[in-house]
Homo-oligomer: A and B are copies of this chain.
Amino acid sequence: MATTYTGPVIPAAIEPLISQRAKDLLQKVWDFVDTECIPAEALFHHQISTDPAKRWASYPQIIEELKEKAKKAGLWNLWLHKGYKEGPGLTNVEYALMAEIMGRAGHVAPEAMNCAAPDTGNMEVFAKYGNDAQKKQWLVPLMNGEIRSAFAMTERFISSSDATNIQTSIRREGDEYVINGNKWWISGAGDPRCKIYIVMGKTDAGNPNPHKQQSIVLVPAGTPGVNIVRPMHIMGYDDAPHGHMEMTFTNVRVPVSNLVLGEGRGFEIIQGRLGPGRIHHCMRTIGVAERALELMLRRLTDPTRKTFGKMIGEHGTVQADVAESRMEIDSARFMVLNAAHMIDLHDAKSALREIGMAKIICPSMALRVIDRAQQAYGAEGICQDTVLPNLWTHVRTLRYADGPDEVHRAQVAKLEMRRAKAVVQKIEEQERRSAMLLGQKAKL
C-alpha cells in the first residue's frame, strides 16, 4: 500500500476473495462516504432541533437527499448478500469491506445507503420468516427506504443478554394478540418515520422448554396502548431523533396475522437475525477506528500544536500509540473478514466461534484506538468539536449490546475446550512414542 493511499483497504491476503465488481463498488462506496456523507455530518447534527418539543418530531432532511443520491448511484441495499435476489449479490466478505467504509460516517452513511441497523436485521426477519402479506406491507417500503423499523426485545429489570428472562406477555384472545410489557433501549423507535415494531414476548410462559416460550409479533406504530416513555441516554447523548427508547405496551391488540413464523418460534427468529449483523457491527467499528486514527495523524502532524518544542507526533510514546493502533486495527479486520468468509462458505452457525471472537475484539480495539486519538487531541478530543467522543460512546455500547464481552468470551472458551479430548489423546499417543524411543535407545 503506497504510503499516500487513503482509500478503502483490502488486505492483500484477502484480495482473492473479492470480485472485480465488488472492488469497483467498494470504491464507489468510499467516494460516496468520503465526498458526500462525512461532509454532511455537521449539517445532519445542525438539522436536529435542540428544542425538546421538536427534537423527536422530524428527521434531518439531508438524509433524504443522500438517500436519493445513493439510490441513483446504485449504492442501495448492498447488505443483501448473495442469498437474496433483491440485492447486488455480494458475498458477506465483500459487503463487510463496504460496511467498514460506511462505519466511518456511522450516523449518516449506513442509512443513506439503506444499510443501517436495526433495519437490515429487521428486513432479514421479514425476508426469511415473514409471509407474503407481511413482506408486502413492511419489507417493500423498508427496502425502498420509505419507512424505518424497530426491534423491541430488551427489557428493563432483567438481564436481557439471557433472552429466556424476557417478561413481556403476548396473549391470544380470539383473533387478536394482546401485548403487555415494558421494553427499553429500542433503537430507532424515536424516529418519526419508524412505522413498525417487531416485538418479542412470551406466548407460552409455562412451556417446559424455555426456548419455545417466545414469539414475535408485529405492532404498527400508533397502535393504541403503545407508549414511548423516554429516550435512554448513552454517556450524555440521546441520539435524537433515532433514539433508544423506553416503551410500554399496555393491552396492545394486533390481529393474529401479525404473528411471525409461528407461536413459540421467537428464539429461532432472533438466532437467525444475529450472524451477519454482528459482522456488520464489527466492520463499522473498524471503520470508526480507521477514522479515529486518521484524525489522530492529523493532530500529530499539526505544526501549530507543538509542546515542548516538538509536534505531538514526534514524541516516542505517541508514535508507539500509532503503531499499536495500526496493528490492532489490521489484526481485528482479518478476524472479522475471516468470520464473514466462514458464513459465506457455510453459515452463521458454523462461524459461531469466529463471529464470537470478532464481536469481542472489535469494540475494545476501537475504544483503545479512539482513546489514543482523544488523548492526542486533549480537551478537543472529548468535546463537540471533534467526532471522537461520539464515536467512542457508540462503540462503547457494543461491549455489552447483543451480549457482553464476558458472555462471548465464555462461549469462545467453551468451543475451544471442546478440542481438549482429541488433543489429550494426541498428546498421550506422543508420550507413548516418546517413552518407547527412550526405552529403545536406553537398551542400545
**A424 in contact (CB, < 8 A):** yes
**A404 in contact (CB, < 8 A):** yes
Whether the pair B5, A422 counts as a contact (CB closer than 8 A) is: yes
The chain B residue sitting closest to A439, CB to CB, is B43
Whether the pair A389, B236 counts as a contact (CB closer than 8 A) is: yes
A297 to B154, CA, bound (A): 23
Whether the pair B3, A382 counts as a contact (CB closer than 8 A) is: no
**A84 in contact (CB, < 8 A):** no
Contacts of A73 in B (CB 8 A): none
Which of A124-132, A143-151, A313-321 participates in binding chain B?
A313-321
**A423 in contact (CB, < 8 A):** yes
A345 to B320, CA, bound (A): 28
The chain B residue sitting closest to A313, CB to CB, is B417
**A233 in contact (CB, < 8 A):** yes
Contacts of A35 in B (CB 8 A): 430, 433
Whether the pair A389, B315 counts as a contact (CB closer than 8 A) is: no
Within 8 A of B (CB), among A414-431: 414-424, 426-427, 430-431
**A223 in contact (CB, < 8 A):** no
**A13 in contact (CB, < 8 A):** yes
Q: How many residues of A contact B (CB 8 A)?
A: 129
A297 to B11, CA, bound (A): 32
A430 to B384, CA, bound (A): 17
Contacts of A52 in B (CB 8 A): 50-51
Contacts of A334 in B (CB 8 A): 13, 331, 334-335, 338
**A69 in contact (CB, < 8 A):** no
Q: Which of A47, A233, A304, A306 has the most CB of B within 10 A?
A: A233
Contacts of A232 in B (CB 8 A): 379, 383-385
A17 to B11, CA, bound (A): 13
Q: Given that A389-B235, A409-B323 are contacting pairs, would A438 and B404 also be in contact in the complex, using a CB cutoff of 8 Å?
A: no
Whether the pair A159, B305 counts as a contact (CB closer than 8 A) is: yes
Whether the pair A40, B422 counts as a contact (CB closer than 8 A) is: no
Whether the pair A423, B294 counts as a contact (CB closer than 8 A) is: yes
Binding site for B on A (CB under 8 A): 1, 3-6, 11-14, 16-17, 34-35, 38-43, 46-47, 50-52, 62, 93, 154, 157-162, 165, 184-185, 232-237, 293-295, 297-298, 300-301, 304-308, 312-313, 315-320, 322-324, 326-327, 330-332, 334-335, 337-338, 341-342, 345, 353-354, 357, 360-361, 375, 378-379, 381-385, 389-390, 392-393, 396-397, 399-401, 404-407, 409-410, 412-424, 426-427, 430-431, 433-438, 441
Q: List 16 A-B contacts (CB under 8 A).
A: A4-B418, A12-B338, A13-B337, A39-B430, A39-B433, A39-B434, A43-B434, A46-B438, A161-B307, A185-B379, A235-B235, A315-B316, A316-B320, A331-B334, A334-B334, A379-B401
